[in-house]
């Protein structure tokens, strides 16, 4: 069977086995989920068969960080290397499920974001690397990749795309659920039964500044504040917190997106270098509270005026494991809605796997020729079929 015929056959199947690959802004590694997907849209059914995390090696992480400040040649070379890493992650999760690659219908890869510009900062543009052709060659599978540019082409911000999964899973008449992801950047989807009233956007910083302060505090021995064990010992610097909460991004109206350009190394380095080294633990505690407060501010300023009262807040992403951050978020939202961890819902996949699972779902829609952006979330003029298919 030639690949065009194979693609048509996959599209006609009642269910598909798809590997979803997600590389986050924190540069931790690749999350890979293998799922059986049935249906489409709000009738989507998801069965996770395996989940695997492939950490980036220190040398690869350093290469990515250098490339973010490097040349076009560096980006080209890293694009191919990351294609190999993503292919390895796909093969690893397939093996973990006890399957052969030939049993899988497709791989849906988000790639590694190296730059993102939203409309408030110039011409909307986005670049994710991790060459889909390399993934297809190494796995032998059809690959769906490069999801974000199609949304941008119809006036969207190219993000957030996980909002589509949230709408599929959580839309219920009479309920307004906020799906809060805390990765390197924090983003929220407020799901309503009427998709035109739903809203999703990046609320501001997530773990990026927290991780940077943790590395500074521990002289690099710890890459992140595991369980919030360091930040719980610090004291919040209220004066600094107030200044941080004046960051202009927080006041911008959605749809909006952000990334390392706004809250990455330069932002964190300036704070660390200006702060008393003897009080670095207080800076860490302050940044944890800043993430929590920026999320709460986004709800009050940008969500509730549009959606009305919120039924509940469901948190996923790496930040859900930081108990200091979760406690701060519950405090900040005490008068808004109850806050729960995604894992409390027992949906068959974990908070850690959610974004990789989302790309299984997005890939499933693309293979069927169905749109999977949420215009109310991204600001697009219309729904669009996302991604590029590599045969």
pLDDT for 364: 98
If you average pLDDT over residues 118-127, what whole number do you get?
Answer: 78
Q: Is the pLDDT of residue 288 over 80?
A: yes
User: pTM to 2 decimals?
Assistant: 0.89
Least confident segment among 155-159, 183-187, 254-258, 316-320:
254-258
Q: Is the pLDDT of residue 362 over 90?
A: yes
pLDDT for 120: 67
pLDDT for 377: 87
pLDDT one-digit tens code per residue, 229-245 = 999 999 999 999 999 99
Q: pLDDT tier at 115 (50, 70, 90 boundaries)?
A: confident
115: β partners: 127
Q: Is the pLDDT of residue 100 over 70?
A: yes
pLDDT for 232: 97
Least confident segment among 49-53, 104-108, 120-124, 313-317:
120-124
């Amino acid at each position: 069977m030639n690949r065009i015929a194979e693609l048509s056959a996959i599209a006609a199947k009642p269910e598909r086995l798809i590997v979803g690959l997600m590389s986050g802004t924190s540069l931790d590694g690749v999350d890979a989920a293998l799922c059986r997907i049935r249906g489409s849209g709000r009738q989507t059914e998801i069965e996770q068969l395996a989940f695997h995390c492939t950490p980036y090696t220190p040398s690869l992480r350093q290469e990515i960080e250098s490339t973010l400040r490097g040349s076009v040649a560096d980006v080209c070379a890293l694009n191919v290397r990351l294609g190999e890493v993503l292919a390895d992650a796909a093969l690893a999760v397939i093996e973990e499920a006890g399957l052969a690659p030939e049993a899988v219908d497709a791989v849906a890869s988000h790639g590694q974001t190296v730059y993102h510009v939203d409309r408030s900062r110039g011409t909307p543009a986005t670049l994710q690397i991790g060459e889909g052709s390399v993934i297809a060659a190494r796995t032998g599978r059809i690959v769906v990749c490069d999801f974000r540019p199609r949304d941008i082409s119809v006036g969207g911000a190219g993000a957030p795309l996980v909002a589509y999964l949230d709408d599929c899973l959580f839309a219920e008449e009479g309920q307004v659920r906020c799906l809060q992801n805390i990765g390197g950047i924090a983003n929220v989807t407020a799901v309503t039964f009427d998709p035109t009233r739903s809203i999703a956007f990046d609320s501001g910083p997530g773990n990026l500044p927290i991780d940077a302060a943790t590395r500074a505090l521990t002289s690099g021995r710890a890459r992140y504040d595991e369980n919030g064990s360091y930040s719980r010992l610090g004291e919040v610097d209220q004066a600094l917190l107030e200044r941080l909460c004046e960051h202009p991004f927080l006041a911008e109206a959605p749809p909006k997106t952000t990334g390392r350009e706004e809250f990455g190394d330069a932002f964190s380095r300036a704070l660390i270098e200006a702060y008393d080294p003897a009080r670095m633990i207080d800076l860490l505690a302050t940044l944890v509270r800043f993430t929590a407060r920026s999320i709460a501010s986004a709800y009050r300023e940008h969500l509730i005026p549009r959606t009305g009262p919120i039924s509940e807040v469901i948190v996923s992403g790496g930040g859900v494991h930081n108990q200091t951050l979760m406690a701060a978020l519950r405090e900040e939202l005490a008068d808004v809605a109850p806050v729960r961890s995604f894992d409390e819902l027992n949906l068959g996949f974990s908070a850690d796997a959610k974004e990789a699972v989302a790309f299984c779902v997005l890939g499933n829609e693309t293979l069927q020729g169905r749109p999977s952006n949420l215009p109310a979330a991204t600001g697009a003029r219309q729904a669009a079929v996302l991604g590029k298919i590599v045969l």
